[in-house]
Amino acid sequence: MGASDPEALGAMRISMGWNTTPEDIDRFCAAWEKMHARIRDRIAA
């Protein structure tokens, strides 16, 4: 996709299809918020 190796290592690709619902997106966002907080806390430690 044209990203450098360091960019690719820190990237996350998210795909949605025609049948993705708003509820699917809400569940993903909630899960991502939890994961992001855990990662942020580990980096800060």
Question: How many domains is the chain partitioned into structurally?
Answer: 1
Is residue 13 included in any domain, yes or no?
A: no
Cα–Cα dist 21/45, whole Å? 37
Q: Decide: 14 and 28 in contact? Cβ < 8 Å.
A: yes
CB atoms within 10 A of CB 27: 11
* pTM of the shown model: 0.68
Is residue 2 included in any domain, yes or no?
A: no
Position 1 pLDDT exceeds 80: no
Is residue 6 included in any domain, yes or no?
A: no
Q: Tell me which residue range forms the domain holding 29.
A: 19-45
Is residue 23 included in any domain, yes or no?
A: yes
The structure tokens listed for 31 are 């899960």
Residue 19 pLDDT grade (very low, low, confident, very high; cuts 50, 70, 90): very high
E strand or H helix that includes residue 10: none
